Amino acid sequence: MPIFELGYRSWTGTLRPPAARVWAITKTGIALAFRSKILKRIVFMAWMPLLYFAPLFFGIGYVTDPTRDLEKRGFLVGIAQAFLGETISARLVTDPESVRPVAWSMAYHLYYSGFQAFFTMLVAAIVGPPLISQDVRTKAFLLYFSKPITRVEYLLGKSGTLFFYLFMITLFPGLVLYGISIALSPNLVAFTQTAPMIGKIVASSMIIAVPTTFVVLCFSSLTSDGRYALMGWFSLCLIGETTYHLFWRLLKIREPWVPLFSLRETMRIGIERVLNVQGQISVLGVGKDLQRQLESYSSTCPPELAFGYLAGLFLVGLIVLWHRISAPVRI
């Protein structure tokens, strides 16, 4: 047998397509971010709301099941009725098929805009800032861009990391919730009736994830110190939220552009439009509590403006990002 020496040897083989390279960047980012204990805890906490919503859906399903004995109203039914209000709860008993969609829409509206939007801010704050700023600080971009990848692939890879974690707390739990509710429903009619819900869950998750990702990455690309990006993101969220409440509650200024201060509120308006809660409630006729409920979902800001603002954030973030990573690579 001839002797093989231990020195350098070359390699030839089939190369993977560009998508595999994007995935390499994404999965490395995911693994690195996952080391953070805080992140693990927050993602865990972000699934806790399911402890309320799963019973809620269960309760709705229980009430709409004609075979169930409503005398055995339990805890679950109580939750459902408390959430839906008098009129809708009553309707749910008499004519469940017509009310199930609106009940679910209301539930998802609360889930996304009330809970997950908050967790999104936290998760984005932990995962996002170092993604690009660290590459600037450690000059890793020299290593990236001397390899056969394009700027688009780099961006897709980096945003993939953040999208992954954001979907972990928006899309995936939303789908799990949907699965649970279908499983707990009495018959398959529920599924055919609410199948469009899947699309709405995806859309709501995108409304939350896309602007967040690109704004945070944009901040991350503007600095070599992740903490500045973190501060930028928190400022945008918290100062915006405070300003919104200042205008809306204290000063009672309610022009259409006021809700735009709050990123959360803007997203809520978009999500509400997707879920169309107002539309569905209004066809249910009149009722004292219905009027109150309608108001709680409404806003002076038209959905088109909200979508436009979010799209604007996405575009501006993307343009700044692109410009920053195209800066002449200083070798």
Partner 1 sequence: MILDLRSVTKFYGGFKALDDVTVAVRPGTTGLLGPNGAGKSTLIKSLLGLVRLTSGMASVLELDARTRSREIRQKTGYMPEDDCYLAGLAGVQAVAFSGELAGMPPRTALRRAHEMLDYVGIAEERYREVQTYSTGMKQKIKLAQAIVHSPSLVFLDEPTNGMDPQGRERMLRLIRQLPEKGVSVVVSTHILHDVEACCDSVLILGRGRLLVYDTLENLRTSTNGSYRVRFTGSGDAFAKALAGLGCPSRGSGDGEFEVLGAAPEAVFRAARESGAVIRQLASSRTSLEEIFLKAVGA
Cα–Cα distance for residue pair 80/98, rounded to 1 Å: 16
Retrieve residue 145's tokens. 């861009």
Query: Does residue 249 belong to the site contacting partner 1 (CB under 8 A)?
Result: no
Residue (18 or 55) nearer to partner 1, CB: 18
User: What is the smallest separation between the CB atom of 137 and partner 1, expressed in angstroms?
Assistant: 8
User: What is the smallest separation between the CB atom of 17 and partner 1, expressed in angstroms?
Assistant: 8
User: What is the smallest separation between the CB atom of 166 and partner 1, expressed in angstroms?
Assistant: 21
Among 224, 196, 210, which Cα is nearest to 160's? 210
User: What is the smallest separation between the CB atom of 125 and partner 1, expressed in angstroms?
Assistant: 18
195 near 294, Cβ under 8 Å? no
Residue (14 or 94) nearer to partner 1, CB: 14
Q: Which of residues 4-23 bind partner 1 (CB under 8 A)?
A: 6-13, 15-17, 20-21
Residues in contact with partner 1, counted by CB under 8 A, come to a total of 35
Determine the 3-state secondary structure of 215 from DSSP.
Answer: helix
123 near 115, Cβ under 8 Å? no
- Among 2, 74, 148, 285, indicate the residue that binds partner 1 (CB under 8 A): 148
Residue (153 or 272) nearer to partner 1, CB: 153
300 near 259, Cβ under 8 Å? yes
Cα–Cα distance for residue pair 217/170, rounded to 1 Å: 19
- Among 90, 149, 198, 231, indicate the residue that binds partner 1 (CB under 8 A): 149
Cα–Cα distance for residue pair 160/26, rounded to 1 Å: 5
Residue (25 or 229) nearer to partner 1, CB: 25
Q: CA-CA distances (angstroms) from residue 144 to 14, 157, 324? A: 21, 12, 15
217 near 321, Cβ under 8 Å? yes
Region from 24-32, 185-193, 230-238, 310-318 binding partner 1, contact rule CB under 8 A: 24-32
Q: Which of residues 150-189 bind partner 1 (CB under 8 A)?
A: 150
215 near 317, Cβ under 8 Å? yes
User: What is the smallest separation between the CB atom of 151 and partner 1, expressed in angstroms?
Assistant: 11
Cα–Cα distance for residue pair 96/330, rounded to 1 Å: 65
Q: Which of residues 33-92 bind partner 1 (CB under 8 A)?
A: 35
User: What is the smallest separation between the CB atom of 326 and partner 1, expressed in angstroms?
Assistant: 10
Q: Which of residues 104-143 bind partner 1 (CB under 8 A)?
A: 134, 137-140, 142-143
Q: Which residues of 41-57 are buried (b: 16+ CB within 10 A; e: fewer)?
A: ebbeebeebbeebbbbb
Q: What residues line the site for partner 1 (CB under 8 A)?
A: 6-13, 15-17, 20-21, 24-25, 28, 32, 35, 134, 137-140, 142-150, 328-329, 331
